[in-house]
Every structure is written in structure tokens, then in C-alpha cells.
Structure 1
Amino acid sequence: MAEKIDQLLKRTESADLSELMSIWRSRLPEEGSGSPALFRCLGERILAHGEPLLAYDVVTAGLATWPRDTRLRQLQGLALARSGATDRANAILEDLRHEPQPAEETLGMLGRTYKDLAIAAATPDQRAQFLRQAAETYAEAYRTSGGYWSGINAATMNLLVGQTAQASELAQKVRKQCLKELKNRTGDSYWEFAALGEAALILHDLSQAAEWYSRAANEGRNRFGDLQSSRRNARLVLQHRNEDPDWIDSYLRIPGVIVFAGHMIDRPGRDTPRFPNEFEPLVAKEIRQKLDKLEPGFGFSSAACGSDILFLEAMLERGAEVSIVLPYNEEEFIRDSVEIGSDSRKWRVRFDSVVARAARVITASNQRLEIGGISYEFCNQLLLGLATIRCRQLESRLIPLAVWNQQPGDGPGGAASVVQDWRSLGHKPEIVDLAKISDDRPRLRRPDEPAATLSDLRNQSSHHHTSASENFRSRIVAILFADAVGFSKLSEPEVPRFVQHFFGAIAQLMQKFSNSIIANNTWGDGLYFVFSEIDLAGEFALQLAELAAKTDWPGKGLRAELNLRIALHAGPVYEFDDPITRRRNYSGTHVSRAARIEPITPPGQVYASEAFAALAAAGGAKNFTCDYVGQTPMAKGYGTLPTYHVRSFVSRTSPLRSG
């Protein structure tokens, strides 16, 4: 066993991101669970590559066996910090701080959380308070360890709080340390180079900073998590010096994130050719030229034959990371969107290849909704949201890219609809113009290949189910389930007071959101709401949680422990007139998915699915954020799904506890 662990450790230390993901998916770390070493190494390497959510899952799995392992707990805190869950990261690292002789890494990571809180602070006073806590924490780490990493962070924080002389003194000390380290260094020198660059910035020597950052970038190639961490500090120093913060992008560049959409290869039977088979090499060339210009490092796309697969292949050729979202189960998707026309076998082989090499493959819905193109529209929104979340993690640039013929589409789900949605949100998509390719080339359509797009597929699906469509429609909604904690302990005399005061208060809150609530119901202690707007569903959920937590229930003759568990999800559903209730109702597998989240939600909290978090990000929700909780087992054996904690952007009146 020990030999096997050593082999895996060596493999992990030199693996690229794709191989690291392969190691994790194969569950090899669990085979080596006699030691936490593999979980540590895998978590460190995945974090360095800029995948904090996956790193969090890895180290959390290790902590299930070694709950007191210091390094795993440090990495869990760092993964949360890099994913944006700053409060949770701060709590974990503060706990570690109170252990005997906290390590430099613990204090340094804790200092980072106070720095992040300062960046997100609502007022100048709050920002100053958090910066002081960051400076004190980094200074403590430097005093106790003498490590250059905590030293350079202490220097930067002192500069930001106005202690310029102290910042310069620390920067000079760190510079001497790093130069000494480099004389004897034989391995990775990324952090020494980055610290020297930051020290030069603090000392206001841009030419020296440029030299050291250039060397750091070369050493840290493709380590986007590490590059982003260094770039954030450089931006803070540049902003403080009233220099252009984008200066650092010339040296520590984080590539952009592309969200992609495009026409499929024409399906046999299409009346008007759009993307015939003979256009494939031309479209592939245009996509590659766009990518050469944009230089992306990450891509989000579906995987239909034609544009999607051409994009994914081009990205993988560049060594970029790709994530794939399928609108519904793979078997049905392949039949509908991959194995098309005379080249169906070729497209199937290429589909299998890109899926096997993808960093992640997500299935948006277990089944396709049989009415309209809503499954494809949901897939496109999910792609945009996941790409947006990735951009936020890396502080990078979101680039929408479409292969489109510049013509109006047939409705939601097609390329025209996607481009229109992107533009309505303020994005400026790059376009590979199929119409121009068609105009520049003589028509070479083969007699047996008339054509089709994803929109055509949607319409065909709709025509095949017209009897169902007459009374049903489909749409994307947000769904809320909540359960009253403590209801089962109520006595009979308390039940009327519960209905009057607990449900009555919720009814009053509903009035504020009446334009967005399109369905609601109760059963016993359960609450169910359907919303037309994702962002308003999140705001309602948080106000509902606050109402339950802050109301004086004993003053109303109820038990003090009354509270709510609240769960949110978003997805496509059927909308119909319910013949029993005679009200508009909503149903489908996504309603069931929302119901499975509520039982695993802690009392007083709001948990959400990845789909809700993604659609909130895609729509630019401003009043709340979604922090990653991890892969969480759902209720009633529904499987394990990524879960998020929804919280308000609350203005803090004082810093978090510092011990």
C-alpha cells in the first residue's frame, strides 16, 4: 500500500489539471486512505491550477477520515477563500489559529481572508478595519516564522493602512531573503519571484517589478490559482500608488473564459441550408482564428455536432480547460444532437473524445421537456452562469462567442436567441458569421444533406407532441421549499397561533414580492413558492430566513426555537392549469430536485442548487451571493449534488472576531 501511495504522490506532483481530475474521478485517493498525504497533495495541486471548488471537495473528503489534520483544514480554508466564501474560510482559519503554535500558512491564509473582507467592505471605515486586521495577522505570521511569504503580505498590508516606512522596511527584508533563497534554489521558484516583484512594487521600482513578475509568470505557467493570488496583491499596491492596476496584466495574465453557442450541422430534411457538412473545415478554421486572437484558457459549451464540437476540439488543441453542459441525459442527447446525417458515426467518435477530455461534464436535466426548446434555453443559461462563476474566481474576462448566421432564429434555445440574451445582459459577443462563409463559397450542398439546427430539433420535438402542448407550456422558474423547524413539537393550542403569526408574517412578506411569486402553497409546516425571477427568489428567501430568525416568537405565544430551513433551485418546468385546484400550477423533475435540498439545509440557512447559483450569476444578481458548500448527499437517496449557501451582501459594522 505504501508503495502505491508513493507512486500516486509522484504522479500527482507532476500532473496537469486534466490528469489531476482523472486521479480524483477514479477515486484513487480513497484507495490510499491509509494516509492523508495524497489528499493534501491533490488539493494543493488543484488549487494551484485555479480550481477551488474541486479542491474543496478533495480536502473535505480527506477530512472525513482525518478531521483534525491541520494541512487539510488549511487547504479547506484556502479553497473557500479562493472560491469567494470568505466568511466560512475565516471561521475555519480562526479555529486553526487558536491551536498551539499556529503555522505560518494558517496565519497567512487567515490574513488573506481579512484582506478579502476589506476588498468587499461596504464603507471606508470597514475597509480600514479589515486591512488593519490583515496587517496584524500577517505581521504575527512573519514574527513567528520569518517566512518571506507572510513578510511580503505584511509589507503590502502596511502600505495599504498608511504605514509606508514600515512597509518599505519589510519589503527590503523580504527582498534580501528571496535573493538568498534563489542562490540555493534548485526547484520551483515561483513564490520567490512573485515576492520579489511585489517588493519592487512596494518600493516603487516598476522596472524591477516587471523583471521579477515576468520570471514568475514563466515559472508559474498554467498555475492560474497562484497567478491570480499574486495578481490581486499587485493590483492593490498599484491602486494605492495611483498607478494603472491593469499594468500587472502584461506579466501575470489570466486568460479569458469563453461561453460558447452555435449552429449544429444541418440535419437531413432542412429546407434552407445553414451549416452543411462541407462548411465544417471553414468553420473550424474561423473558430481557431478567433481563439488565436482571444487567447482563452477556459471554455464552456454544450457538445452537439457541428459548432460545439469544433469549438471544444480547438480549445483542447490549445491545452485549454473545457467544461461541457448537456441539456439532458447523454443517451438521448446523442440521439438528438450528435448522431446526425451521413457522418453520424464520425460525430459520435468526436463527441466521446471531447467528453472524455473535459474537466467537467454537467447534465442540466435528467430528461428533455417535451414542449418547445426550454431544455436548450436552460442549458444556455447554465453555461453562461457557470462561466461567470469561473470568471469571478479567477478575476478574468468573460467572452461570449457564437457561430451564427446573423439571422433571426426559431425561438428560445437557438443561436440567435442566445446572442440576443447575451446582448440584453450587456455582453458584446464575438461572432463567427456563417452567412459570410456561405456568401464567400459556392453552394456545394450534397443532394442527400439538406440540413438542421438545434432550433429545428426543438421544433420537431414540439410537433411530435402537439396534443400535450395544447394545454401545457414550459418555462424556467425559481423554486423555493421551506420547512418550519420545531413545528412537530407544537401543542394543539399553539397551532392556531402558528397559523396566525408565523404564516401571517410570511403572508405579509409575500406582498413585497407579489409580482414575482407565480405560485405558492402550504402543507402542514411546509412552504412552496415558484418565482418568475431568479434574483427576487433569492432576496425573498433571505428575508424569509431573517423573519424566522429575528421574530420574538415567545412574545406571540410560540416556541423560541421556531425557525426555517429554506432551499432554492432553478430550472425548466411545465406550466399548466391544474384541473383539481383550478389554479396555475408547475411540475416536473426540477420541482422534485428542489424538494430534496430542503431537508439537508441547516436551520436558519438558505441553501441552493448549482443551477440556482449559476442562473443568479448569469442574471447579475446584486443583493446576495452563493458560497460553495460542497458535494452534498441529497435527501431520500437522490444522489450527491453541488450545493451553495445563499447569503446577503450585508454591510458589516465591525470586523470579524480576531481572537
Structure 2
Amino acid sequence: MTPSVTDSAGPVTPGIAGWLERIQRANGNEGNYLAAYDLCMKALAAWPDAMVFEHQAILALARAGALNRALQRYRRLDEAGRLTALTDLDLAAEFAGLFGRLLKDCASGSSIEDAKKHRLGSAIAYANAFERLGKYYLAINAASMYLSCGKSGNARHYARLALELAAAQREQDYWSHVTQAEACLILGQFDTAIAMLKAAADDRRSTIAVTGAENLDAVASTRRQLTWVAGLTHAPAGIVDVLPKPRVLNWISRPELLLTRDPFAFAPGQTVIAFGPLMSTADLLIANALLEVGANVHVVLPCEPDSLAARTFLEQPKSVDMLARVLGHERVRVTLVTKEGSPDEPAGALLCQQQARGLALLRGHSLLVDPELCFPGDGTIGFGAIPSDNRDITGVAPPGGARSNGVRKPHAIVFGDVRGFSALNEAEQLTFLEHVIGGFANALQACGGVEYAETAGDGLFIVLSDVMAAIDCCFRLQKVLRPEKTARLGLPAHLGIRLSAHVGPLYRRYDKVIHRHKFVGMEVVRTARIEPVTPVGEIFVTEQFAAALAFTTRDAYVCEYAGMQPMAKNFGECRMYSLRRAGRRFPA
């Protein structure tokens, strides 16, 4: 475990300190690693030499599960000599510890042999950094990683060093207490470990009382690490439960049930993060009530706020005012299913609920807590487990009932093109058409759920029934352009495919030129604007797609955050994720 760095390689100017405060708030108080990374990118645009922002950016990516990008960013700094040039020893220690963490993360999902190599590499990296820089958090991480490699002698050696240094700190705080707890776990001193965890929990409560905010990342990181170490040491079950943890909530839209009184009551200092659709007066009242008790709220709208207000709250001036207050609140984040449409459209309403659920599941996973379902009853709120099959959302009727026109339906959208196609000579283009485009055709034929496909030169536009069909399609298309295949065809080695995917409501209309039905809508245009900014060899998906995937399944695939990306042709920017199979750390 590593405490958060709060200084930079050089003087901390008021501007840098201000950005750091915003980054730390997003990372810790809100547990929003994606926002933290985006803030780091903006800070680096203003202070490109401030290595503290590079450290925070890599750390945010690692916390968000975007290990590929975290490793790439770290290696670029290392290869450029910027890490060896650090004169701030505290920041140098933070970077050294970060490298050990990245190697540790590499072990997750790797083969058994590769995992052993990564864990041992991590242990050595932490140990070398400790011998050079002497920080207790480097020693305790070396201890836990040696323990995971079965090297108990090394583990106990570094655990004793960490315990001694942490206990000797003049001012005991959260990090020194949890370090002592981890060292005691490794040394088999379980009663002392529990005492140290209780002291750490008291530290958290004291911090919340003073600042009014809880560092969610610190607690999530601690619980994840100590749960792992407790398993390695066969410590008593539930030993980590004394540490506090946030609550992640998800509500579903029940427009016929309105709150008649303040329904929420949470424990003092309890951090609550809630996700839900905002399609009706009931949803608005839930969001507002959560804000009144200090929760962070993420609402998913089926359309633009103005359209929502006009269609849902037109005759309710107080609700229109409340909607403006909620959407403008500093603790509210807004996601749109689509800018077009209306709140009573079945496609948008269904996606709205699914994506809110998916976002809750993603956040719960990152904070190591199980999201809870909250639902309105007769003037109050009930809580329970989220059904594993999401049956509470499937088949939920959207508000409006008979007014719904049913024109658009939810679909997954894939765009792709091949880098290097325009440089092919005519003979190579013929080979490309026969074998590459032909290979794409074979791949699509083998996919289920393809409802429309067209090509334009090297470009692909595909509409599919759902996200799982889109994922299967993307990985099949990737295989067509593997280097060994293009080499056998005599095509240039630099050819590579890039794919982008999105999910949204689409119209199906008849095209009189090509004499077939095709799919149209703003979400098609949006996906087309994403594909040009996708790196070759990768599959980039939108946050809406990532949330829909989390709603469907989280077992086989991982969406790694790639940052706020500008779309082509000045179409704005959006949060993008890199899609990969679980267990595969680098793109296929």
C-alpha cells in the first residue's frame, strides 16, 4: 500500500497545488478515477514538466483497471530518462513503488508461470526501491509480494523492517496503522493486526469529522490488499471488516411511486455514491433526496435535459426548478443515452436503466463493494441485493405508456477501418478486396446478431442486436488482419485494423438507392467520429457501451479506461475505454 503523494518534483506553485487538490478529491473523496485521470491530462497541458501529475495519471489508470495504458505511460517516462532525473526523493519513491504495483497487477489474469514472474519482479522492485530510498511502504509491499511468491523468509524480513519504521513514525496516521496491520498479518500476530485496523478506522473517522470527506481510494486499496494478504496468511475470516467502506446504490425508475417524506438515513460519515435513471418525477425526488443527505449522485438521462423538462415536467414548475438544481449540483454527474429522442421512448428508457445499473456495477467493482438496489415504496425507500440476472429492469415499462412511439430500438454499432489501405497499389487493392474484405465477410457470417453491414473501401459499418454480439464481431474482425496472415498474402506489414463500438437507439429505414433497409441516427454518427481516434490494433468503446457490458456480464471482458477523447470533425469529446478479453493484458 502506498500513501497518496501531495508534492511535485520542484516547487509546488498555487496553480499546481490547486490541480492536485482537485485530482485528490476525484481520486479519493469521490472514488472517480476516470475524472482524476482527465484532470491530470488537463494539468499536464499547463505544466508538462510537473512529474507529480504524471504519477497521478498512471496511478489513476491503474486504479481504474487500465493497466495497459498505465504501463505504456510509465515506460515512456522511463525510456525518456525522466524517472532517473528526479531530484525529489519522495516522488522518486512514489514512482518506484508504482512500478512494483504495475508488475503486481500484471500477475492478475496472467498464466500461472507468468504470474509467478510478475510477482517476483514486483517483490524485487519494491525491495530494491526500499534499500535505496528507505520508505516503510516500500518495505511492506516487498514483504507481501515475497509472501505471494512463497519466499516466507524474505517476507518476514521486510515485514519486520516495515513494522519497525511505521511504529517509529512521530505522528501515527491511517497509513502507518494499516502498514503495521499488514506486517502483523505476515508475522502471524493477528490480534495486533486487528488492533491496528481499528486504529486505522478511527483515523478515517477523525479525518471525515475534520474534512467532511472520506478518501475512498485509500480504504478500497487497503481492503483489497489486506484481504489478499489475510488469505495468504490464513488469518481469521472477516479480519478486514473493521475498516469502513462506502455504499454504492442503484435505483430503478418507478414513476408511479412518489416519495412523500425524506426517505434516506445513513450512518454519520457514511460515504454514499448513487446511480440511477432520471426519467420521471419519482427519479428526480430520489436524486434530490440523496443530495440532501450528502450523497454523490450519477444520473443517466434518456435525452437532453431540455427535452426531458419539456416532456416530463412541463406542467410542474417546481419540478423544472428542482431538475435544474439537481443537474447543476457539484456532486452530480450526468450521462446521456442520446442527445436526441424523448423520455417516453422505450429504447432510450430501457438503455437509461441498463446503463445506470452498469455504471453502479463498475464503480462497486473499483471500490470493492457490492452495489445495493434501492427502490421506492409507499413514501419510503427499500434496500436489497441487485438481482444477478437484472430481472428487475428487463421488461420495465418506460414512463408515458401509450404515448411511446416505438420507432427506435437499442442496437450496438461498430465502425472500423484499416490503416495503410490508401497506400496500397492496384494489385494489392485487389488482393485486399479478395482476402481481407472477404475475410471480414466470413467473420460477419460467423457472428450472431448482425443486422446490417456495409463497406466503403476499407471502411466497415455494422449494426448488431446487442453488446455481446458486437464484442464477438470485433474480435473476429481483428483476427482477419493478423500480421502472419497479411504476410502470407504479400500485403504490407503496416496494415492494421482499428474498431470502435457504441450502443444507442437507432431508426431502421429503407434506402431507395441501395434497395435495402439500413440504420440511421445520431448515435451512428457518434460512433463514426470515434473510430478515427482509435489506436490501430485496439477496440475503443464508449462509456455507454462499457456500462451496457457491465450490465450484461463482467466475467469475460474488461473495459480499460482510455481517457476523455476528442472525436473527429469537432464532434466534441467523450469518455472512451479499450476493450479486451479478461486475462489478456495487451491487445490481441
TM-score (norm 2): 0.86
Q: In the alignment, what sits opposite 2:146?
A: 158
- 2:481 counterpart SS class: helix
Query: 1:292/1:475 Cα in 2 relative to 1: closer, same or farther (>3 Å)?
Result: farther
CA distance in 2, matches of 1:335, 1:536: 35
**Residues 641 and 260 (structure 1 numbering): CA distance in 2 closer, same or farther, change over 3 Å?**
same
Q: Looking at CA atoms only, which structure, 1 or 2, has the larger radius of gyration?
A: 1
Q: Could you tell me how far apart the structure 2 residues matched to 1:197 and 1:427 are?
A: 41
Deviation of the 1:244 alpha carbon? 5.3
Question: How far apart in 1 are the matches of 2:421 and 2:77?
Answer: 37
Q: Give SS of 2:422's match.
A: helix
Per the alignment, in what secondary structure is the counterpart of residue 491 of structure 2?
A: coil
Q: Deviations over 1:544-598 (max 9, x none)?
A: 2243242432432433222222111111111244444343321111111100001
Corresponding residue for residue 244 of structure 2:
253
Paired residue for 1:629?
A: 562
3-state secondary structure, aligned to 1:109: helix
Counterparts in 2 of 1:262 and 1:328: CA distance versus 1, 3 Å: same
Cα 1:374–1:134, aligned 2, differ >3 Å: closer, same or farther?
same
Kept after mapping to 2: 8 A contact 1:373/1:459: no
Residue 493 (structure 1) shift: 2.5
- Deviation per CA, 1:288-335, whole angstroms, max 9, x where unpaired? 26x679x77210123345322332233223322111111101111012
Give the letter for the 2:389 counterpart: L
Distance 1:35 1:402, change over 3 A: closer
Hey, what's the Cα distance between the residues in 1 that align with 2:58 and 2:506?
37
Q: Which residue, 78, 81, 84 being the options, matches 2:65? A: 84
List alignment gaps of at least 5 residues for structure 1.
1-12, 14-31, 265-273, 406-418, 430-452, 463-468
Give the Cα–Cα distance (whole angstroms) in 2 for the partners of residues 571 and 245 of structure 1. Answer: 44
Give distance in 1, aligned partners of 2:239 and 2:314.
48
Distance, in Å, in 2 between the alignment partners of 1:93 and 1:370 is 44
Q: Kindly provide the amino acid, as one letter, of the partner of residue 434 in structure 2.
A: Q
Residue 615 of structure 1, CA deviation: 0.8
Q: Give the structure 1 partner of residue 124 of structure 2.
A: 136
Q: Which residue of 1 aligns with 2:353?
A: 380
The gaps in structure 2 that reach 5 residues or longer are 1-5, 7-11, 87-91, 209-213, 379-383
Cα distance in 2 between the residues matched to 1:525 and 1:232? 45
Q: Secondary structure at the match of 2:252?
A: strand
Matches of 1:173 and 1:557 in 2, distance apart? 60
* Greater displacement, 539-548 / 327-336: 539-548
Q: Does structure 1 retain, via aligned residues, the 8 Å contact 2:344–2:400?
A: no
Partner Cα distance (2:177, 2:191) in 1: 14
1:457 counterpart residue number: 400
CA distance in 2, matches of 1:252, 1:546: 46
SS in 1 for 2:408: strand
Hey, what's the Cα distance between the residues in 1 that align with 2:112 and 2:484? Answer: 32
Q: Would you say how many aligned residue pairs link Structure 1 and Structure 2?
A: 551
- One-letter code aligned to 1:318: V
Of 44, 47, 57, the residue aligned with 2:24 is 44
| Residues 129-154 of structure 1, C-alpha deviations (whole Å, 9 max, x = no match) | 22111111111111111101111111
Deviation at 1:96, TM superposition (A): 4.1
1:320 corresponds, among 281, 295, 302, to 295
Partner of 1:479: 413
- Determine helix, strand or coil for the equivalent of 1:280: coil
Change beyond 3 A, Cα 1:150–1:101: farther
SS at match of 2:555: coil
2-structure distance, mates of 1:481, 1:104: 43
In the TM superposition, residue 489 of structure 1 has moved relative to its aligned partner by 1.5
1:542-581 to 2 correspondence within 5 Å?
542-581=475-514
Q: Give, in angstroms, the shift of residue 496 of structure 1.
A: 1.7
* Structure 2 equivalent of residue 280 of structure 1: 259
Structure 2: which amino acid aligns with 1:47?
N
2:312–2:343 Cα contact (<8 Å) kept? no
CA positional deviation for 1:610: 1.1
1:170, 1:300 → 2: CA distance? 42
* CA spacing shift, 1:292–1:532, aligned 2, 3 Å: farther
Asked if 1 retains the 8 angstrom alpha-carbon contact of 2:185 and 2:235, the reply is no
Residues 253 and 278, structure 2, Cα contact 8 Å, conserved in 1: no
State which of 422, 426, 429 in structure 2 corresponds to 1:492. 426
Distance 1:292 1:178, change over 3 A: closer
Residue type matched to 1:212 in 2? Answer: M
TM-score, normalization by structure 1: 0.77
Partner of 2:456: 523
Q: String of CA shifts for 1:172-198, please: whole Å, max 9, x gaps.
A: 2222212221x3x2xx82211221221
The answer for the alignment partner of 1:511 in structure 2 is 445
Distance 1:302 1:426, change over 3 A: closer
Equivalent position of 2:328 in the other structure: 356
Amino acid at match of 1:476: P
- Over aligned residues, Cα RMSD in angstroms? 2.9
Which residue matches 2:465? 532
